Amino acid sequence: MVEMGEAIIVLDEVYKIFGPQPRGRAFDLVRSGMGKNRVQAETGHVVGLDDVSFSVNKGEIFVVMGLSGSGKSTALRTVNKLHDITYGTVTVDSTDVQALEGSDLQAFRREYMGMVFQHFALFPHRKVIDNVSYGLKVQGVDKKAREEAAMKALSLVGLGTYAQNFPSELSGGMQQRVGLARGLASDPDILLMDEAFSALDPLIRRQMQDEMMEIQGELHKTILFITHDLNEALRIGDRVCIMKDGAVVQIGTPEEILTKPATGYVAEFVQDVDQGRVIQVHEIMQKPAPISAGVTLSEALSTVGERSGAFVLDSAGAPTHILTADDGIRAAGMGTTDLGPALRTDFDRCGPEDCLNTVYAAAGRGLPIAVCDVSGKLVGNLDPRHIMEEMGRVEHLIDDFEREVFM
Ligand SMILES: Nc1ncnc2c1ncn2[C@@H]1O[C@H](COP(=O)(O)OP(=O)(O)O)[C@@H](O)[C@H]1O
Ligand SMILES: [Mg+2]
């Protein structure tokens, strides 16, 4: 048994060539480093996967992202052997998937995999519950057990009350939730989701993403999720794998992809993304360095030091007041030695896991923001300058990239 956080799906040096002679000259050319387009021009064979290696850890959402034709679906389909591969190995929980045949393969898919696809249409003449339990029916699960499993999956996606409706009575978003419930019905370890939300309009899509992450928080499935939308990838992925022309370009956390794009190609995608959404407060906050009770203004100012402000705490460690560097210096300039009158209380608070975009407005006031844990204790000091710098750093990366490409 693979433990949480350990690799459960592993693709190792996987090649997939489409055409009459996949192991012929096309394969040799790809292996020698020739790109997809030239291989196709020279041999008429299509390079689906070009030396793809990645591993998905148990319990994570691993997103494969790339433009149409980059090989995402092909990669996903090697995991349940909807595709044979030309070279390499694919293992799931230490099973060599590509070696499975017939009933072993079916049993393996049934035990491990749930699938949710964009165009995995519901049966229009079956009720929602029968759509959800259909896979279990095919597997020979008895009626009572499969209906229980289907109801459980439906209530997970918030559609328990629609079990007896027909798909046409549901909105597009709800239908896609039925699709998700169908994927979850057999309680698989692994969910394979190929552009599952891509047909939904943006608002519904975000709701679906949120819901999926909520469900994931409860069930801790391993999710291999495919999308052509980087925003979606960065929003839901624990890690993101970017593909181009059948090859892996970069694998990293959303933060790594955004702040250290491996190539211009990744940077180009990144420029469309709202950075603030994925960078969290704790990544750029400073240690709190609170001001002790009863100190003088000049002592407090030396605590503030290079920061733009520091907080005074109550006995429970919660911030009550702030001394900003500006206020302190102004008060000292007027000859005050007393700390009290220089303090203010109109500061903002946020949590360490909040994303930067949610603190933009507060940062705009120019005051340091108190980063507090759930009990209200001060855990960090968020300087608005650092928020701007962080944003600026990414802007800069993108500018550099544009210069490289367009000049
Ligand atoms: N069955 C197939 N026969 C021939 N070429 C295929 C087949 N399936 C996919 N391809 C080609 O392989 C490449 C990768 O396709 P795919 O994995 O579907 O891309 P994506 O899911 O990223 O849009 C594309 O060039 C596509 O045309
Ligand atoms: Mg696809």
Q: What is the pLDDT of residues 68-90, one digit of tens each?
A: 889 999 999 999 998 899 999 99
CA angle 352, 354, 358 (to 5 degrees): 140
Whether 398 shows a pLDDT value over 90: the answer reads: no
Does the beta carbon of 309 lie inside 6 Å of ligand 1? no
Query: Is the residue at 25 inside a domain?
Result: no
| Structure tokens given for 325 | 């560097």
Query: Are 116 and 208 members of one domain?
Result: yes
Residue 355 confidence class, pLDDT cut points 50, 70, 90: confident
Residue 2 confidence class, pLDDT cut points 50, 70, 90: confident
Query: Are 347 and 220 members of one domain?
Result: no
Nearest CA to ligand 1 atom 20: 69
**Rounded to whole angstroms, how far apart are CA atoms 191 and 187?**
9
SS3 content of the chain, % helix, strand, coil (to 5): 45, 25, 35
* Mean pLDDT confidence for 341-352: 94
Quote the domain boundaries for residue 355: 282-389
Q: Which of 251, 273, 295 is the last residue of a domain?
A: 273
Under 8 Å between Cβ of 47 and 243: no
Strand partners, 250: 242
66 Cα to the center of ligand 2, angstroms: 9
**Rounded to whole angstroms, how far apart are CA atoms 44 and 48?**
13
Does the beta carbon of 18 lie inside 6 Å of ligand 1? yes
| Structure tokens given for 377 | 């204790």
For 170-199, what is each residue's pLDDT tens digit? 988 888 889 999 989 989 999 999 988 887
Residue 139's alpha-carbon distances to 63, 150, 178, 185, in angstroms, are 29, 14, 19, 12
Under 8 Å between Cβ of 65 and 244: no
Whether 233 shows a pLDDT value over 60: the answer reads: yes
Query: Are 220 and 320 members of one domain?
Result: no
CA angle 55, 56, 60 (to 5 degrees): 155
**125-142 core/surface letters (b: 16 or more CB in 10 A; e: else):** eebbbbbbbbbbeeeebe
Query: Are 292 and 204 members of one domain?
Result: no
Give the number of the atom of ligand 1 that is nearest the alpha carbon of residue 19.
Answer: 4
Which pLDDT value is given to residue 338? 92
Query: Are 238 and 305 members of one domain?
Result: no
Does the beta carbon of 48 lie inside 6 Å of ligand 1? yes
The ligand that comes nearest to the alpha carbon of residue 22 is 1
Give the number of the atom of ligand 1 that is nearest the alpha carbon of residue 226.
Answer: 21
Residue 235 confidence class, pLDDT cut points 50, 70, 90: confident
* Mean pLDDT confidence for 103-121: 82
Does the beta carbon of 74 lie inside 6 Å of ligand 1? yes
H-only helix segments in 102-223 = 102-112, 128-138, 143-156, 172-184, 202-219
Whether 404 shows a pLDDT value over 80: the answer reads: no
| Structure tokens given for 172 | 């597009």
Does the beta carbon of 114 lie inside 6 Å of ligand 1? no
Residue 256 confidence class, pLDDT cut points 50, 70, 90: confident
Query: Is the residue at 22 inside a domain?
Result: no
Residue 401 confidence class, pLDDT cut points 50, 70, 90: very low
Query: Are 232 and 102 members of one domain?
Result: yes
Query: Are 261 and 317 members of one domain?
Result: no
Nearest CA to ligand 1 atom 18: 73
Domain of 290: which CATH number?
3.10.580.10
| Structure tokens given for 184 | 């979850």
The ligand that comes nearest to the alpha carbon of residue 242 is 1
Q: What is the DSSP letter of 118?
A: T
The arrangement of strands across the sheet holding 369-372 comes to 349-350, 369-372, 378-382
Give the number of the atom of ligand 1 that is nearest the alpha carbon of residue 49.
Answer: 14
Q: Number of structural domains, the chain?
A: 2
Residue with tokens 């009770």, as numbered in its chain: 293
